[in-house]
Amino acid sequence: MTRVLTGIKPTGDLHLGNYVGAIQHILRMAEDTSQEIFFFVADYHALNTVKDAKQLRESTKRIIAAYLAFGLDPEKITLYRQSDVPEIFEITTILNAVTPKGLMNRAHAYKAAVDQNAAQGKVGEEADIGVNMGLYNYPILMTADILALNAELVPVGKDQAQHLEFARDIGGRFNHAFGETFKLPQGFISEEGAVIPGLDGRKMSKSYDNTIPLFSTASELKKLVMKKIITDTAPPEAKKDPEESTIYQLYKVFAQPEQVAEMKAGFEQGGLGYGTAKKQLLEALENHLAGPREKYEALLQQPEVLDEIMRKGAEKARAVATPMLKKVRQAIGAD
Ligand code: TRP
């Protein structure tokens, strides 16, 4: 059994891009029975930016409900909330002691914050304005997430590749100082292939404000697809390059292969107008999303069900993290 672990930060609502990039990915992995999967919501990572208890609590539950709504089976995948596993934070403190400060100075997210300050003329003592220690230590907490569960494989997006290198580096330093204790995790970096276009044709991303939320109501979804997806002004009879069309790119992900082939032909040969294509896309999206939407809304009305799933998940995660912490404490002489 290969132990696989990944996490998601609960910030903001999920959109179609998250579905293609992360949700589908984990559901596919769950089909592989040679893997034991741990999946958690990194609420203490979100704390660096979220300073509102209600928001943190709710966005955590929304993520859990979303994955369940798309069919994640909590009996097969251990689903838990980071803050429910205190061993992670004790291991974080211990890892602090073997992590060079200089390594953290090189972290992309931290450097980006410093560069942004510099661009506004804030240098020297002001260079770190807006950076809390949680952001600075983010990679150490992420390392502890992974090492506490002794994970072997960590699937993440490209933006997390450096964090994975740090995890291996920090784990290696601990092992070097105190003897072989942690397995060093392998990253499984998914390529940009999973990127889908947003309403304006650029990569779907919250930072571009071009997303289609995963759980929009049917009427919101209709409005977004019919009114907000940007197209050029080619008339229906014109031949169009499907690969240039946001409608087609999204259709490819959500429609059946024959339907996709049909839209492709309609664009290439001419005769398929954008309005008609949008209707087809909307139908494909509705087919795909209506069921999960209903399940999601129902789950949010049953907080006790979500709580019970999180409780069980934490129990399973702690069954691994507790002996791991014991081993670590022994290694350092805190037993
Ligand atoms: N940093 C990850 C992200 O923003 C989330 C995360 C936290 C994570 N801890 C992790 C991912 C451990 C994989 C393993 O996407």
pLDDT tens digit string along 249-271? Answer: 999 999 999 999 999 999 999 99
- CATH, residue 117: 3.40.50.620
**Amino acid (one-letter) located at 71:** G
Q: What is the pTM of this model?
A: 0.93
Q: Is residue 197 in contact with ligand 1, taking CB distance under 6 Å?
A: no
Q: Give the least confident one: 23-37, 65-79, 136-150.
A: 23-37
Specify whether 169 is located in the same domain as 254.
no
Instruction: Give the number of other CB atoms < 10 A from CB of residue 315.
Output: 13
Specify whether 289 is located in the same domain as 234.
yes
Specify whether 120 is located in the same domain as 188.
yes
Query: Which residue would you say has higher pLDDT here, 1 or 176?
Result: 176
Q: Is residue 7 in contact with ligand 1, taking CB distance under 6 Å?
A: yes
Kindly give the number of the ligand 1 atom that is closest to the alpha carbon of 138: 1
Specify whether 139 is located in the same domain as 177.
yes
Question: C-alpha distances in angstroms, 45 versus 27, 35, 134, 209, 313?
Answer: 23, 26, 8, 23, 19
Specify whether 122 is located in the same domain as 249.
no
Percent of the chain with pLDDT over 70: 99
**Statement: residue 288 has pLDDT above 60:** yes
Q: Is residue 146 in contact with ligand 1, taking CB distance under 6 Å?
A: yes
Through-space distance between the first and last CA atoms of the chain, rounded to whole angstroms: 30
Specify whether 265 is located in the same domain as 157.
no
Specify whether 8 is located in the same domain as 68.
yes
Q: Is residue 42 in contact with ligand 1, taking CB distance under 6 Å?
A: yes
Specify whether 189 is located in the same domain as 246.
no
Q: Is there a domain that residue 286 lies in?
A: yes
Number of folded domains in the chain?
2
Q: Is there a domain that residue 148 lies in?
A: yes
Kindly give the number of the ligand 1 atom that is closest to the alpha carbon of 42: 7
Q: Is there a domain that residue 209 lies in?
A: no
Query: Which residue would you say has higher pLDDT here, 192 or 31?
Result: 31
pLDDT band (50, 70, 90) for residue 195 = confident
The pLDDT of 301-309, averaged and rounded, is: 97
pLDDT band (50, 70, 90) for residue 13 = confident
Q: What is the pLDDT of residues 117-126, one digit of tens each?
A: 999 999 999 9
Q: What is the pLDDT of residues 92-120, one digit of tens each?
A: 999 999 999 999 999 999 999 999 999 99
Q: Is there a domain that residue 210 lies in?
A: no
The overall average pLDDT reported for the chain is 96
The whole-number pLDDT of residue 191 equals 67
**Statement: residue 192 has pLDDT above 60:** no
Specify whether 282 is located in the same domain as 166.
no
**Statement: residue 194 has pLDDT above 70:** no
pLDDT band (50, 70, 90) for residue 157 = confident
Specify whether 67 is located in the same domain as 178.
yes
Q: Is there a domain that residue 204 lies in?
A: no
CA-CA-CA-CA torsion sign (78, 81, 85, 90): positive
Q: Is there a domain that residue 33 lies in?
A: yes
The whole-number pLDDT of residue 193 equals 53
Instruction: Give the number of other CB atoms < 10 A from CB of residue 309.
Output: 20
Specify whether 99 is located in the same domain as 52.
yes
Residue 310: domain span: 2-195+303-332
Structure tokens, 322: 């507790």
- CATH, residue 267: 1.10.240.10
Q: Is there a domain that residue 201 lies in?
A: no
Ligand 1 pocket mutation pick from 5, 45, 83, 89 by most atoms within 8 angstroms of CB:
45
Specify whether 107 is located in the same domain as 133.
yes
Percent of the chain with pLDDT over 90: 92
Q: Is there a domain that residue 276 lies in?
A: yes
